[in-house]
A = this chain, B = another copy of it.
Amino acid sequence: MKKIIIFTTCLLSLLISTYTRAEMSGPSELSGKSRQCIDCHKQETPAIVQQWGSSKHFRGNVGCFECHQAKKEDADVFTHYGSKIATIVSPKDCARCHEKEASEFKSSHHSIAGRILGSLDNRLAEVVEGNRMMITPGFPDGNSAAAVNGCWQCHGSEVKVLQDGSLDPATWPNTGIGRINPDGSEGSCSACHSRHKFSVEQARNPETCGKCHMGPDHPQIEIYQESKHGIAFYANKDKMNLGNEKWILGEDYDAAPTCATCHMSATPDQDVTHDVGLRISWNNRPVMSVRPEVSDAKLGLPGKDISWETRRENMQNVCTNCHNQTYVDNFYTQYDSLIELYNGKFAKPGKELMALAKPLLKPVTFSNKIDFIWFEIWHHEGRTARHGASMMGPDYTHWHGTYEVAKHFYAEFIPALEEIVEKNLRSSDSKKVMQTKKLAAKIKAVLESNDHKWYINKMDPKEATKRKEAQEKFKERYKK
């Protein structure tokens, strides 16, 4: 009896969902091919059969074969007990049912994360940290194990199919979000919707984003966990209704926002989007923060036509479900001011100083200590400060952020530059001496600028007096 009720309920819900979202419904019953897969995999890999069994795919009769099927011309096709299948289910495959999501994803930075693997960070993993000793069938010249186990696991590998149809171990397993797949598509839906449940619930959990958005160079998950948003989430996780199909802020939940809420999910006026950049008004990745349309243009993404103002409006449309417009405007004043402080006081002069020092250094990047010092100032600590302010994590903004930036700027970077000047001024190479003088002049100019002259004990007397008064005032208050 109970079984019949469950069955009827399933059927009903299937009918209803078919009715309401016809484009998303699956086949009317599970295919014979998929049944065949399950018969065997129930024994071979029982846990993933169970995971699939608790997925929406199960309820929609979307089985193993529906996703893993391949055409004979596919690069990675192989025959498995009589069926032509492929291991990798690419965004192109998912798009057979989830076309809107795949298409939005394709416009995002996420989708092209695999392309940046010729960057500075990559040089680190391949040359500085690595070597070519990871020889695999597909890579007789080898790869760097630091890149394979590090970079590629977030950014995505370029998956290589071997002659026997199997996947090269340097490039698979891999769920990097910008994975370059054998079918030419870019991306990995399972980066966020983990196999084999593919649940939207999991993707709405902040930890999902934390797989990659963590650590010294972009500690977003740590910042979220410090912020009042994260605090509210962890205190109210059971009230978040995370598994609900419709998940509209203020309708279906209100206790807290997750990463998904602000960057992707629906509000009463705004649809879900899988293009994660559409609500972001600063790109804090580079040495100096830029507007997102600028970096989108450089990358050839359609976002080049979407101004930061529009994106900020999109985000504010999320914020205003809980905060009034003045509050939100004021927050952005605070956030923008931190970006401007970092850009103006540290990033711009630092970049210029590094450019002037470059001809005086050993030619190979990262063979000079100052290469690491400067790299961490902008790539680690400078980003942390900016991300910290963007998501309201005060300790990340300050102690892990601007404090570290300033400490390394004054106690490491400037002294290292001064040492370079001292050493090269005595050079017999007149070109070097000329370059050294340019660098020395720039150091002087920077240190005498308003932002830095405190360091050489030349604080503006008016400012010094004001500071002293403020300090006295505070001290007095302290004693009351």
Residue numbers of A with Cβ under 8 A of B are 44-48, 50-51, 54, 87, 115-119, 122, 124-134, 136, 141, 144-146, 148-154, 166-167, 169-170, 172-173, 175, 194, 197, 199, 201-202, 205, 207-208, 210-212, 214-217, 225-228, 230-232, 234-236, 239, 249-251, 254-255, 268, 298-300, 320-324, 326-327, 329-331, 333-335, 337-338, 340-341, 344-345, 362-364, 366-367, 369, 372, 385, 388-389, 392, 394-403, 405-407, 410-412, 415, 450-451, 454-457, 459, 463, 466-467, 470-475, 477-480
Copies of the protein in its oligomer: 3
Closest chain B CB from A455 CB (angstroms): 5
* CB-defined contacts of A330 to chain B, threshold 8 Å: 167, 169, 172-173
The secondary structure that dominates the A interface is helix
A-B contact pairs, 9 of them (CB 8 A): A116-B474, A125-B398, A130-B345, A150-B395, A154-B394, A194-B232, A207-B234, A210-B225, A364-B455
Give bound CA distance, A401 to B399, whole Å.
17
Whether the pair A118, B45 counts as a contact (CB closer than 8 A) is no
Give bound CA distance, A241 to B452, whole Å.
53
* CB-defined contacts of A128 to chain B, threshold 8 Å: 406, 410, 454
Whether the pair A327, B173 counts as a contact (CB closer than 8 A) is yes
Give bound CA distance, A51 to B255, whole Å.
6
* CB-defined contacts of A466 to chain B, threshold 8 Å: 141
Whether the pair A46, B250 counts as a contact (CB closer than 8 A) is yes
Partner among B214, B400, B477 whose Cβ is within 8 Å of the Cβ of A395: B214
* CB-defined contacts of A202 to chain B, threshold 8 Å: 231-232, 235-236
User: What 8 pairs between A and B have smallest CB-CB spacing?
Assistant: A118-B474, A150-B398, A46-B250, A153-B394, A169-B330, A215-B395, A50-B254, A145-B337
Give bound CA distance, A314 to B326, whole Å.
44
* CB-defined contacts of A467 to chain B, threshold 8 Å: 126-127
The residue of chain B having its C-beta at the shortest distance from the C-beta of A339 within the complex is B145
Whether the pair A144, B366 counts as a contact (CB closer than 8 A) is no
Whether the pair B338, A149 counts as a contact (CB closer than 8 A) is yes
Give bound CA distance, A179 to B140, whole Å.
50
Whether the pair A334, B254 counts as a contact (CB closer than 8 A) is no
